[in-house]
Amino acid sequence: MRGVVVDSAGGVPIPAAHVRLVEGRRTDLSHEDGAFEFEGIPAGKYTLIVQRVGYRPRTMMVEVTGGKVTTMRVALEAAALQLAPTLVTASVDERSGREVLSATSVVSGAALDRQSAGTVAAILQNQPGVSVTSLGPVTARPVIRGLGGDRILMLEDGQRSGDLSALSGDHAVAIEPVTARQIEVVRGPMSLLYGSSALGGVVNVVREEIPASRPDQAHGAVTLEGASVSRGTTVGGYSSTRVGPLAVRGEGSYRRSADVQTPVGRLLNTQSRTLNAAGALSWAGTAGYAGASYRFYDSDYGIPGGFIGGHENGVDIRMRRHTVRGEAQTNRAIGPLTSVRATGTITQYDHEELEQSGAIGTKFGQFQSVGEVVARHGAIGPFALGAAGVRAQYRDIVTGGTLRTPSTGDQTLAGFIVEELGSGALRAQGGVRYDYASYEPRRRTSIFVGGERIPVEPRSFGAVSGSFGVLYDLKEIVHFGASVNRAYRTPDFNELYSNGPHLAANSFDVGDPRLDQETGLGVDAFVRVDRQHLRAELSVFRNQLDNYIFPSSRGRAELGSQGTRPRFQYTNEDAVFSGAEAQLELALTSRLVVDATTSLVNAHFRSDRAAIPVFTGTDTTFVAASEFPPFIPPLNGNIGVRYDRPHSFGGITIRWADRQDRVSDFESETAGYALLGANIGWRILSGSRLHTITLRADNLLNRAYRDHLSRIKEIMPEPGRNVNLLYRLVF
């Protein structure tokens, strides 16, 4: 298959365009003369997607006949509005974003350059429904529709990252975003493919770490970045090439930053240093591929002090992750199956929290092994396509230091099937999943809960989750979708068995071995408009969570060697999360685009909560329990105008949030704010290499504000004015 990519206005060749053959999972960059080529393509029908920043993407259906060369001319139209198709891999198969049966956001290409940041969560904070919670800049983690922790699955190429970031706010996500090709956010029932606990959604960082095909030429990217607010520097890159029958990919990055500056001073002990390296090798042909990769992630970072009962100068954290992954997929038909993929991952993760003396205060170690097999099929009877799979996981978690949570081993086993009906204007999708999990604490103790001692014992859980959704296309312009899903979440070992101080979080965490599993019934509906000059999506949702698990403080405190600290008791409570999200991109001209998003979450407990007796040291008082779950984002959004040409771009944005006075136990209200930002950039072609320079300013007016989801908002406001300079080379 051969072709040339040209500008539709003058027929001038366009180099450095990303050309993707969807069914073969093969990619190429157009050369200096705009040419591209794929060799050894079996006869059949294929979807070809061509994308280049500054131009509107184009999708073509191509038929390849045996023994002949298929040639084509692909004309791209210069446009600031990047409409679909953007591939979304967090679905049954790769497809355009407008064809997904869930509310979806994708950050890639020019948007990834404009929003570049040190964490995945910071990159996604302007996406509808997404907020950020943190205990310092390095520990940022996404919150979707008011839900966080392991209710949000963090994936790399569809596999869990293997860290313990969902455990506590001081644990960073061990994923480096600088080498990502795109980042996807999937809300709603499609999360069933990856785990029943993903009530909030799935964040998938796509890199194609194990190459699925041999590149027709070497390609990759190099990135240099600097940020003034923390004197931070980042260098990173990756490259893929072919060596005989093998595809080889290498990746590396280094990131360093000092303490963050706020409008009222320096936020002490927020420095960081992160090293990331990976290598992969695979045999890839028309029949499929088989390969393996190794990834090393090493990060040292600080957690600021100043909490109630916390260390005055904060805590330092050392975190390391080793991951070995193997993957194989056959693309040859096996009966009704179109492909079968098997994946195995082994991860060793270590996390140490250090006191100022250098002594280890808290320690976590996790060994995790995962095996997964997923089979996909095409049209069978009434089903247009579908997937079925099984997943098994074993974890051995070792705890140490002052942490009294016992070391725990757990095993999980899951099986799922997702089927899709129809291929025209009306499509439906249904799925069912069964999960089994068991926990085995290494040490048998007891925990004082609600006035009685509860023995720490093994627990096991099992439940069925499922979803059903429909999508209706009206003249391929307006898309209506709705879904209903039942989700299920197992309490984590920390929620079951913790009983003692957590150094970096500056809290006294108490589990409950009697906790019930969490179940949710969710309803989601959306309307999506996809026209040449307009892209818009409005979605509404309601999630009813029975036995919602959360750390309740209710004003209680625990006396420790550093003074008092909040006592958080994990407990079950029925809750409801409902809200709406909207996103709009409107092209006023071929160069000028207005974009805006807004998100609203309302959450409350379903039953009245009685006042709780609290012993103050001299007498007992009663504290009224809040009717709201903790860390719920206020009404928020952003609005901006951007100007985009193939060789230059720029824009201004306003990110805003309303006040939040619907607070939970041990939370304080936060005021609303509005922040001004701006960016300008240039794209320079040199042969088939694309150089991009992006200059961005955040919080341009250096306004002091406090984010409601920040766990350190009582100490200091959020970062002040930041000037970010990014250079990216794509070759």
Across all residues in the chain, what is the average pLDDT?
Answer: 89
Domain residue extents for the chain: 2-78, 88-730
pLDDT at 619 over 70: no
So what's the pLDDT on residue 561? 46
pLDDT at 13 over 60: yes
pLDDT in tens, 294-319: 999 999 999 998 755 456 678 999 99
Quick one: average pLDDT of 193-208? 85
Coil, strand or helix at 193: helix
User: Does domain 88-730 fall into CATH 1.10.150.120?
Assistant: no
So what's the pLDDT on residue 85? 53
So what's the pLDDT on residue 624? 64
pLDDT in tens, 121-146: 999 999 999 999 998 899 999 999 99
pLDDT in tens, 371-420: 999 999 988 988 999 999 999 999 999 999 888 899 999 999 999 999 99
Quick one: average pLDDT of 46-70? 86
Phi, psi of 490 (to 5 degrees): -85, 140
pLDDT at 69 over 90: no
The owner of tokens 């990769």 is: 293
So what's the pLDDT on residue 562? 46
**Is residue 143 a contact partner of residue 633, using CB atoms and an 8 Å limit?**
yes
Q: What pLDDT band is residue 620 in, cutting at 50, 70 and 90?
A: low
Quick one: average pLDDT of 185-204? 78
So what's the pLDDT on residue 188? 63
Compute the distance between CA of residue 731 and CA of residue 727 in angstroms, rounded to an integer.
13
pLDDT at 190 over 80: no
Amino acid residing at 220: G
pLDDT at 657 over 90: yes
Which pair of structure tokens corresponds to residue 318? Answer: 């050392």
pLDDT in tens, 503-553: 777 678 899 999 999 998 999 999 999 888 899 999 999 999 999 999 887
So what's the pLDDT on residue 609? 62
Instruction: Name the nearest CA neighbour of 298 among 253, 361, 345.
Output: 253
Q: What is the pTM of this model?
A: 0.90
Q: What percent of the chain has pLDDT over 90?
A: 61
So what's the pLDDT on residue 308? 53
So what's the pLDDT on residue 203? 93
The owner of tokens 């101080």 is: 501
Quick one: average pLDDT of 69-96? 75
> Is there a cis peptide before residue 717, judged by omega within 30 degrees of 0?
no
CATH number among 2.60.40.1120, 3.90.76.10, 2.40.40.20, 3.40.1640.10, domain 2-78: 2.60.40.1120
Q: Which residues contact 405 (CB under 8 A, 6 or more apart)?
A: 399, 493, 494, 497, 498, 499, 500, 509, 511
So what's the pLDDT on residue 172? 95
DSSP 190: G
